[in-house]
């Protein structure tokens, strides 16, 4: 069947018929060729979907070589499609080869107190590996183990002690005469009863003085002081406080001074405040009665240093302690007794262990 149809616009018709269709006819195509030849070109791609099956999409184009009828009439074809392919042969059999490898490492140690050999496993690891080669699957299991082998250890202990004397020339004497030498030394350190303050200050924490709590003051002892003049000076207030406890009738006078320049000059009552600071420490840390401590104040000390030099100015910023009791400000005496014994003790120890196999 053939016909002519006006597709667009839709409101247009042929003039003669008043319709959008004309020359409509049906029948056999004249001079129809029963045999058609065409050149076909195409492409396809196999996609595996498992179990040996594939899906194969393809596209083809047909270029006709002959006409459909006696007139020039050729039809070109563009085709799309897909094929589903299944194997008709059985799937290959996979051969599995399994192998197990053991790796063992044993450490041998000798242990005291054992009566027989003891073996313990300390660590064990398992590693699995699979390698495919064609239709053969190689599966390897590797087991790594670490063992500790303890063997009995029998010990032998020998010790000998000998005493020899040492002569002055260094020679040893197997049958010495025991001689003990004792040397007593006594060293005195003068006590400087001055507390030096920084410029314009009355705070003990800004001086070199060691401050103790009442608990630590109760354990203070001159005999434990180091043999160093500067370190002894730092405990000067503690030495005076300790001695005033030993001599309950003794009293002291604290005189505060300043160097009359800069902030030392402009700070009101600075000298007296310095004396009061020292008095309060002796009362709080050493429990010295207030009536046993007198305070006084003046500008430059009675024995003032050179006030034009920096060192002299620093020395004049102080609080001086005086006492009518000589025991309070006497030098610190430290004694030491050294004993020497010219003997040597020789100790020989020998421990024998069997060599483990």
Structural domains in the chain, CATH included, are 2-85 (no CATH), 95-153 (no CATH), 186-337 (3.30.1330.60)
Tell me what pLDDT residue 257 has: 96
CA distance 240 to 332: 11
Q: What tens digit of pLDDT does each residue of 165-212 get?
A: 767 677 777 766 666 667 778 889 999 999 999 999 999 999 999 999
For the chain, list residues with pLDDT below 70.
Answer: 1, 27, 30-31, 70, 89-91, 155-159, 166, 168, 175-181, 338-357
For the chain, how big is the Rg over CA atoms in Å?
Answer: 59
Cβ count within 10 A of residue 264:
22
- The pLDDT, as a whole number, for residue 180 is 66
pLDDT of residue 81: 87
Give the pLDDT confidence score for residue 356 in this predicted structure.
46
Q: Is 4:16 a contact under the CB 8 Å cutoff?
A: no
- Give the model's pLDDT for residue 355: 46
Cα separation, 27 vs 22, in Å, equals 16
Q: Give pTM, 2 decimals.
A: 0.48
Angle at CA of residue 259, ends 257 and 265, nearest 5°: 95
> Residue by residue, what is the 3-state secondary structure of the chain?
CEEEECCCCCCCCCCCCCCCEEEEECCCCCCCCCCCCEEEEEEECCEEEECCEEEEEEEEEEEECCCCCCCCCCCCEEEEEEEEECCCCCCCCCEEEEEEEEEEEEEEEEEECCCCCEEEEEEEEEEEEEEEECCEEEEEEEEEEEEEEEEEECCEEEEEEEEEEECCCCCEECCCCCCEEEEEEEEEECCCCEEECCCCCCCHHHCCCCCCCHHHHCCCCHHHCCCCHHHHHHCHHHHHHHHHHHCCCCCEEEEECCCCCHHHHHCCCHHHHHHHHHHHHHHHHHCCCHHHEEEEECCCCCCCCCCCCHHHHHHHCEEEEEECCHHHHCCEEEEEEEEEECEEEEEEEEEECCCCC
């Amino acid at each position: 069947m053939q016909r002519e149809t006006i597709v667009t616009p839709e409101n247009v018709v042929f003039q003669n018929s008043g319709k959008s269709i004309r020359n409509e006819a049906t029948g056999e195509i004249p001079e129809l060729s029963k045999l058609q030849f065409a050149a076909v070109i195409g492409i396809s791609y196999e996609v595996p979907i498992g179990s040996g099956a594939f899906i194969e999409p393809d596209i083809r184009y047909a270029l006709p070589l002959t006409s459909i009828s006696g007139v020039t009439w050729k039809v070109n074809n563009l085709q799309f499609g897909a094929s589903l392919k299944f194997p008709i042969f059985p799937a290959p059999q996979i051969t599995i080869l399994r192998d197990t490898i053991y790796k063992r490492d044993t450490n041998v140690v000798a242990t005291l107190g054992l009566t027989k050999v003891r073996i313990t496993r300390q660590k064990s690891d398992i590693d699995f590996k699979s390698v495919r080669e064609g239709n053969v699957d190689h599966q390897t299991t590797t087991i790594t183990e670490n063992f500790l082998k303890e063997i009995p250890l029998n010990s032998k202990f020998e010790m000998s002690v000998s005493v020899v004397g040492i002569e002055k020339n260094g020679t040893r004497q197997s049958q010495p005469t025991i001689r003990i030498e004792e040397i007593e030394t006594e060293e005195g350190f003068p006590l400087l009863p001055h507390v030096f303050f920084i410029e314009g200050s009355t705070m003990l924490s800004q001086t070199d003085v060691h401050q103790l709590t009442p608990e630590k003051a109760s354990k203070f002892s001159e005999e434990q002081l180091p043999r160093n003049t500067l370190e002894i000076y730092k405990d000067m207030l503690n030495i005076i406080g300790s001695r005033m406890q030993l001599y309950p009738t003794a009293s002291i006078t604290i005189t505060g001074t300043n160097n009359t320049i800069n902030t030392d000059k402009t700070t009101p009552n600075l000298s007296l405040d310095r004396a009061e600071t020292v008095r309060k420490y002796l009362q709080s840390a050493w429990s010295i009665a207030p009536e046993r401590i007198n305070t006084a104040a003046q500008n430059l000390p009675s024995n003032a240093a050179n006030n034009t030099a920096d060192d002299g100015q620093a020395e004049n910023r102080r609080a001086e302690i005086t006492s009518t009791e000589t025991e309070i400000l006497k030098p610190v005496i430290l004694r030491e007794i050294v004993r020497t014994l010219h003997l040597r003790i020789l100790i020989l120890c020998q421990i024998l262990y069997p060599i483990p196999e």
